Amino acid sequence: MKILITGAKGMLAQAVKAKFEKENEVICTDVAELDITDENAVIEYVKEIKPDYIMNCAAYTAVDNAEDNEPLADKINGDGPGNLAKAAKIVDATLVHISTDYVFSGDLELEKSYTEDDKVGPVTAYGRTKLHGEEAVKNNTDKYYIFRTAWLYGEGKNFIRTMTGLGKTHDEVKVVMDQHGSPTYTEDLTNIIYQAVKKNIPYGVYHSTNQGFTTWYEFTQEFFKMQDINCKITPVTSEEFKSKAHRPANSQLSKDKLLNLGIEIPTWQDAVKRYLEVENNI
C-alpha cells in the first residue's frame, strides 16, 4: 500500500510514520514540501503520487494562539482537510483525518461521555476550525475516517515532559482540576488507526482516545507517582489558571463505536506507564 502522510514533523505524524512504514510505502511531507492550504499543489501532488491512503497529521494545534489567529488556523484546520479530501476523491484514496474532543462544548453532565452522534458546539476558535475541517472532509469525499482524539502526548515536547521537568525542579506545581477527558498516547492512537485500516471498518467518525477518564490534576498525580517525584501538586480551577481559550469542562469521548468493532484500546494509565518506559529508557 502507498501512504501519504502530511505534517510530517508533527508529534502524531512521527508515530504514524514509524508504524506504517514497516509494511507499506510511506511518503512523508512537511509544510515546506506540501502546504495543505494550497489546493492546486495538493491536487497536483496527490495525482502524481497516487496514494491508497492519505493520513492528515498536519494541523494548527496552538489552542490559545488560535483565539487571536482564527483565520490562519481555519485555513490549515478547515480548508486544508477539504483540499486533501478533494484530492483523495480524484485518485480514489481513503482520507484519514484527525479531529478533536474540542468540537464539543463540554457542558455535558460528568457521568456521561460524548458519542459520535452527539451535537457538536465548539467553544474555542481551535474547536471551530477543527469542526470546519470535519465538515470539509465529509463534503468532499465519502471514503474518509475522522478520528477524534484528545490530550495527545508522544515523542517530543508534551505535557508529561513539561510537568515532569517542573516537578523535578520546583516544590509545587499548579494543575487544572476541573477539565475532564482522556490523555492519549500517540502510539495508541496510531494503533487504533492501524487496526481500523487493517479491519477495513466502515468509513465515518470515530472517538479515538485512550480508555478511561481523568483530569489534568489526576493525570499529573499519576505520572509523578510513577516517577517518584515528590513535588506538591495544587489543584486549581480553569478560572484561576486563566488561559486565552475557554476549554471544555467535560470532553470525555465514548469509545463504544470502536470497541464494538473489535478495536483494542488500552487505558490511559497503561499508556502513561509505557510512555515513561520509552521516555526514561527504563
Q: Name the DSSP letter for residue 202.
A: P
Q: Does 144 bind ligand NAP (CB under 6 A)?
A: no
User: Site for ligand NAP (CB under 6 A): how many residues?
Assistant: 24
Torsion of CA 156, 8, 100, 179, to 10 degrees: 10
Nearer to ligand NAP, 71 or 262 (CB): 71
Q: Which residues of 33-66 are buried (b: 16+ CB within 10 A; e: fewer)?
A: ebbbbebeebbebbeebebbbbbbbbbbbebebb
Nearest to 233 by CA among 280, 171, 147, 160: 171
Nearer to ligand NAP, 162 or 172 (CB): 162
Q: Does 66 bind ligand NAP (CB under 6 A)?
A: no
Annotated active-site residue 275? The verdict is no
Q: Does 35 bind ligand NAP (CB under 6 A)?
A: yes
Chain center to CA of 6 = 14
- Active-site choice (102, 126, 185, 206): 126
Q: Does 31 bind ligand NAP (CB under 6 A)?
A: yes
Locate 154 and state its grid cell.
508522544
Q: Does 129 bind ligand NAP (CB under 6 A)?
A: no
Nearest to 268 by CA among 250, 279, 246, 253: 253
Nearest residue (beta carbon) to ligand NAP: 10
Question: For binding to ligand NAP (CB under 6 A), which residues are involved?
Answer: 6-7, 9-12, 31, 35-37, 57-61, 76, 80, 98, 100, 130, 149-152
Catalytic residue IDs: 126
